Chains A and B, each alone.
Chain A
Amino acid sequence: DTEVTQTPKHLVMGMTNKKSLKCEQHMGHRAMYWYKQKAKKPPELMFVYSYEKLSINESVPSRFSPECPNSSLLNLHLHALQPEDSALYLCASSPTGLAGNPDTQYFGPGTRLTVL
């Protein structure tokens, strides 16, 4: 099973709303990732958790707040977003998240976020 699941599939929110994106994997992977993808562009990394610790934050604005409750779950809490934050948000997981070894990332189907 190489499945990463994400909910919701679509989300529309206002600039004053608070919402959360959820991601889950049951492959026993110890690294999980959030990416943001704009139309016709490759995914851009936002955050990496490795062994449930935040290991990379790509200078993401604080209106995006990641959380890793356990090794299978990853959340992205959203608050006071801007219309330019509208994008496809992708979750991924990989076995370790450690450098130096091939560590293939598997992606979820994404959440299409629209900020009004």
Chain B
Amino acid sequence: TQLLEQSPQFLSIQEGENLTVYCNSSSVFSSLQWYRQEPGEGPVLLVTVVTGGEVKKLKRLTFQFGDARKDSSLHITAAQPGDTGLYLCAGVPIKAAGNKLTFGGGTRVLVKP
């Protein structure tokens, strides 16, 4: 069992539709990051959420951090083909030693024109 469970693993939608990716854990995190990664490239940071209950918006992307800081979600409104990629949530459990980042398994998103 992974410390951070991401769902779904794969999502294929048409341009203009909405989608939500979930990142869940039984552990408390001091913060969670969301990254988007394209094939052969490094993960690009989208957002860091820090405060329980926090909601952050980045254009058509809305990120939420659960009140207990154990889960997070990413919602994309009116998805575009440019949103295609691998979405990764990652964070450091509050009881971890050092800054060892734990990753979710990733969600592969395909937005068809």
Chain A interface (Cβ within 8 Å of chain B)? 2, 4, 6, 31, 33, 40-43, 45, 48, 50, 55-56, 88, 90, 94, 96-110, 112
Instruction: Report the bound CA distance from A56 to B98 in whole Å.
Output: 8
Cβ-defined contact, A107 with B43, below 8 A = yes
Binds A, one of B13-21, B77-85, B103-111: B103-111
Instruction: Report the bound CA distance from A50 to B100 in whole Å.
Output: 12
Check: B45 CB closer than 8 A to any chain A CB.
yes
10 A-B pairs in the complex with CB atoms less than 8 angstroms apart = A42-B104, A42-B105, A50-B98, A90-B42, A96-B99, A98-B99, A102-B48, A104-B33, A107-B35, A107-B43
Q: Which of A55, A88, A97, A104 contacts B45 (CB 8 A)?
A: A104
The main secondary structure of chain A at its interface with chain B is loop
Chain B residue at minimum C-beta to C-beta distance from A111: B42
| CB contact under 8 A between A43 and B103, given known A2-B45, A99-B92, A108-B42 | yes
A104 smallest CB distance to B (angstroms) = 5
Please, which residues of chain B bring their CB within 8 A of the CB of A103? 92, 99
Among A31, A102, A108, which residue has the most Cβ atoms of chain B within 10 A?
A102
Cβ-defined contact, A110 with B100, below 8 A = no
A95 smallest CB distance to B (angstroms) = 10
Check: B28 CB closer than 8 A to any chain A CB.
no
Besides A104-B48, A110-B42, 17 more A-B contacts (Cβ < 8 Å) are: A31-B99, A42-B106, A43-B103, A50-B99, A90-B42, A90-B43, A98-B98, A99-B92, A99-B96, A103-B92, A103-B99, A104-B45, A105-B99, A106-B45, A107-B35, A107-B43, A112-B40
